[in-house]
Structure 1
Amino acid sequence: MTELQPLDNSHAGVSYAIDETKHEVKTERCGVLSVFTQGSTKNITDNTPVFLTVHDMGSNHTEFHSFIEHPSMARIKARSLFIHVDVPGQGLDSTDLPSDFTFPSMQQIAEDIVSVLDYFQVKYVVTFGEGAGANILARFAMAFPDRCLGNILLHCTSTVAGVMEYFNDKVMNWKLQTIGMHATAEHYLVFHKFGMEIERADNKDKVIKEYIDKLQSRINPKNLRLYVEAFLSRTDISGLLKEHMKVDTLLVTGAKASHLHTVHTMHSHLDPRFATLLKVDDVGDVLHEAPDSLAHNLLLFCQGLGLFSTLPMSRQSSFS
């Protein structure tokens, strides 16, 4: 366990420092996972809200920082523990994974994550994932329903890669493998994260530039390629959802998200008793473009799970 110095971060012109602790958790197939905690890991009770996060391709746990530090999350953050898992080799400034390391599948990552809960002696979590990370956490919730109170899944897909996605991912994969981070790979990852109509979006230039700068300078392209390959080779879990997803699940997407239709497909396969769909208008990246709306609906969802019962609701629209 390593106490980290506060990290300097900024979003939308707001600077803040991150107080987090790094842990190394040994797993069966993922090797030693880098796990970061925000909040106290002491005296965790069954009533302590614990969020387990897994990030998308082209990023790592730091992608959640600006949302958690947003003013709309202050009351939730003060009462919660966030456990962030970095997928192998995806951390900031990561060195190349060993040549003899077999990168795990999405299912294997999901099954190994239970070791993280055991490490912290946490009984139950609310999952909070984005993109590929959301797919991993959906698998985790089905494999370990007794350890999961609910799911908050951003831009999640339950299907295999479609023809165009497969083609685009293969092109990106080739660029990452042969010449490192390349404009083609960058453009695809930007589209994957920020969605449609990027050129028409207001006030996105700064956020997209920061994202590309981080890709170019701090994300290992060889390791990223392996995560992309694992996501590209994912199995279809759509047919398993109705029978095996027995915890409340909030699917979140932006109306301009790149994989909007796949989120709707996943929603149609879930048991309607446990599924809620939140579609935020006029955004592609809900995490960064609509933090107020996401925080409000996160609180509403968690209160439905019996958490944060003493926190008053703010005046905002709820689930669509």
Structure 2
Amino acid sequence: MNVDVNTDQSLSTLQILLNSNTINCKSSKLNLDFQVHIHNETNLSNQKCFIMTIHDLGSNHMQFEKFINCPQMTGLRNRVIWLNVNLPGQGPDAETMTIKKYPSLEELGEELVCILDQLKIPQVVCMGVGVGANIISYFALKNTSRCLGLIILEPIASSAGIFEAIRKKFNSFQSKKSIGNISDEIPLDHSDQCLFTESYNSKNMALFAQSFFQRSCILNQLGNLRIDAMIAVGKLSPLYTETKKFYKTLQDLNKKTPQRLVNSPYLEIDNCVNILKECPERLTSSLQYFLQGIGLLSAMPMQKIHAKPRSIISSILSDSICDEMSSSSSIALSH
């Protein structure tokens, strides 16, 4: 069921979440719709929280649906109502947008609040990957009282990075190009495949890409962040260096200004490129620790993780670097 929601409608959050799978929430400021896919397997007897997810460039809400549906997520699926957001024009089979310029990453982040307002949800935890990680950071910076915590996967710290070689190709994209055509025009290596893994409207994605390529450096604003943030990356990820830079900036700010009281647990996983796809068990366990650390789902029992022999997890907390852990039953992401 697809429902259009605006501030004039009086549907209760419960009615919407029980009766709808997909909801369009309109930003009056941007005059664009955010498409929200609701994943709700909770029951009345469990504690609940809301997690809003934002996908990477070249992907859509399915990037998180696959993670949510993995067997390791059963416990959290029963306790979390997921709001998996498609950014404007980025959903599967989206109509071609008529705008000339796509909103900036900062504008997108700030306007995510329209989803909470229209669904009458007071607060959420936000989870984003790649470009989506930057967008949820902007949401938290602008809407501190509405955000309980951030799960930041592979953020892009700088204003220019590994995608610069792709930019020129995007400039010449035509609206009807297929994934095959794009693959021919852009010599994708393994690290770039993550950008083109879902169905998409190529013209809309090119608009989004231009916004990404014109991004400002988010590091300059992290001093204003007042939300606990878990940062995670695979050690073989093409965004590993960017993620470490993002994390180090937060840690340096904490040292300079201890009264910020912002906790930023860090998770990196060896032998891993794509943390969402390759390491759901480790990410799930760390996610649960983080949620319970910020006061959510306290009654949920911890699950043991069974590490593969060659998968080593490193956890960096505050300003200390823990020794790499060999195969173990659990990892603590305490504050």
Distance 2:89 2:115 in 1: 17
Counterparts of 1:32 and 1:284 in 2: how far apart (Å)? 32
Alignment length (residue pairs): 280
8 Å CA contact 2:112, 2:139 repeated in 1: yes
Match of 2:237 in 1: 257
TM-score by length of 1: 0.80
TM-aligned CA deviation for residue 245 of structure 1: 1.0
Aligned to 2:311: none
Contact 1:175 1:184 in 2 (8 A): no
The amino acid of 1:224's aligned partner reads M
Is 1:247 matched with 2:247?
no
Structure 1 residue ranges without an equivalent (≥5)? 4-18, 195-210
Q: In terms of mean alpha carbon deviation, does 79-88 or 173-182 score higher?
A: 173-182
Alpha-carbon distance, 1:189 to partner = 8.1
What is the distance in 2 between the residues matched to 1:226 and 1:59? 14
Paired position in structure 2 for 1:50 = 50
In proportion to residue count, which structure has more helix? 1
Q: Alignment partner of 1:90: what SS?
A: coil
Letter in 1 for 2:206: R
The match for 1:69 is: 69
Partner of 1:135 in structure 2?
Answer: 134
Alignment match, 1:170: 167
Pairing 1:283–2:281 present: no
The 5-angstrom pairing of residues 1-320 of structure 1 reads 2=2, 21-27=21-27, 28-29=29-30, 31-39=32-40, 48-98=48-98, 100=99, 102-162=101-161, 164-166=162-164, 168-174=165-171, 176-177=173-174, 180=177, 181=179, 182-183=182-183, 187-188=187-188, 191-192=191-192, 215=198, 218-242=199-223, 244-270=224-250, 271-272=253-254, 273-316=262-305, 317-318=330-331
1:95 Cα deviation (Å)?
2.1
Report what 1:205 is aligned to.
none
CA distance 1:33–1:84, change in 2 (3 Å): same
For the residues of structure 1 that align with 2:185 and 2:49, how far apart are their CA atoms? Answer: 37
Give the 3 Å change call, closer, same or farther, for CA 48–108 of structure 1 in structure 2. Answer: same
Normalising by structure 2, what TM-score?
0.77
Measured after TM superposition, the shift of residue 309 of structure 1 is: 0.8
Which amino acid in structure 1 is aligned with residue 163 of structure 2?
Answer: E
Using a 3 Å threshold, how does the CA distance of structure 1 residues 185 and 251 change in structure 2: closer, same or farther? farther
Shift of residue 113, structure 1, vs aligned partner? 0.5
SS in 1 for 2:158: coil
Q: Unaligned stretches of 5+ in structure 2?
A: 4-18, 255-261, 306-329
Conserved? CA contact 1:277–1:319, under 8 Å: no
- The alpha-carbon distance between structure 1 residues 189 and 127, as it changes in their structure 2 partners (threshold 3 A), is farther
Structure 2 Cα separation of the partners of residues 94 and 134 of structure 1: 22
The answer to whether the 8 Å contact 1:124/1:147 transfers is yes
Which amino acid is 1:286 matched to? I
Deviation per CA, 1:190-222: give whole Å up to 9, x if none: 52355xxxxxxxxxxxxxxxx96x54xx31111
Look up the equivalent residue of 2:245 and give its one-letter code.
Answer: T
1:125: Cα distance to partner?
0.7
Q: Cα distance, 1:291 vs. partner? A: 0.3
| Alignment partners' CA distance in 2, 1:274 and 1:130 | 19
Cα distance change on mapping 1:55 and 1:20 into 2, 3 Å: farther
Q: CA deviation at 1:123?
A: 1.1
Change in CA separation of 1:174 and 1:82 when aligned onto 2, cut-off 3 Å? same
Q: Deviations over 1:163-195 (max 9, x none)?
A: x532x131331353487241156654852355x
Larger radius of gyration: 2
Distance 1:165 1:101, change over 3 A: closer
Distance in 2 between residues matched to 1:185 and 1:60, nearest whole Å: 22
> Residue 112 and residue 128 in structure 1: after superposition, are their counterparts in 2 closer, same or farther (change >3 A)?
same
In structure 2, give the amino acid aligned to 1:251.
Answer: I
- Shift, 1:88, TM fit: 1.2
Offset, 1:102: 3.5
Separation of aligned partners in 2, 1:127 and 1:251: 12
Letter in 1 for 2:84: H
Q: 1:34 to 1:287 in 2, by over 3 A?
A: same
SS at match of 1:170: helix
